[in-house]
Amino acid sequence: MSFDTAPKIAKYAIGQLVRHRVFPFRGVIFDVDPEFSNSDNWYESIPEEIRPHRDQPFYHVYAENDETEYVAYVSEQNLLEDENRTPVRHPQVDETFERNDDGNYKAKIYIKH
């Protein structure tokens, strides 16, 4: 029996625009966990037939849908690159990122004095 202990390589990057594979939301990645790092209660609340496996990167996303903005925690298997290059309206996006020419975002750099 062998176990893969190699670090997980995230497919998506901080600042990248993504959308959910199933649910109608899109957003900007602002953090990545190499594997599941949320509560067991959160994980168990996902219906078993659509529950992602824990051993993959999970992304923290400033998310939005037609009605609201929120923070989502999403498995890599449930994300796709978002081809829509319109700005994300989540209020924390402008606090954290600047838009690149390609429509993705880059983290703002803060200098302490």
Residues contacting 54, CB < 8 A, separation 6+: 35, 36, 43
Q: How many domains does the chain have?
A: 1
Which residues form the domain of 35? 17-107
3 lies in some domain: no
* pLDDT by 10s per residue, the chain, length 113: 445 556 678 999 999 999 999 999 999 999 999 999 999 999 999 989 889 999 999 999 999 999 999 999 999 999 999 999 999 999 999 999 999 888 889 999 876 76
Which residues lie across from 60 on neighbouring strands? 31, 73
pTM: 0.88
Residues contacting 105, CB < 8 A, separation 6+: 15, 16, 17, 28, 93, 96, 97, 98, 99
**What is the per-residue burial (b if ≥16 Cβ within 10 Å, else e) of 9-23?**
ebebebbbbbbbeee
4 lies in some domain: no
98 lies in some domain: yes
8 lies in some domain: no
57 lies in some domain: yes
88 lies in some domain: yes
9 lies in some domain: no
113 lies in some domain: no
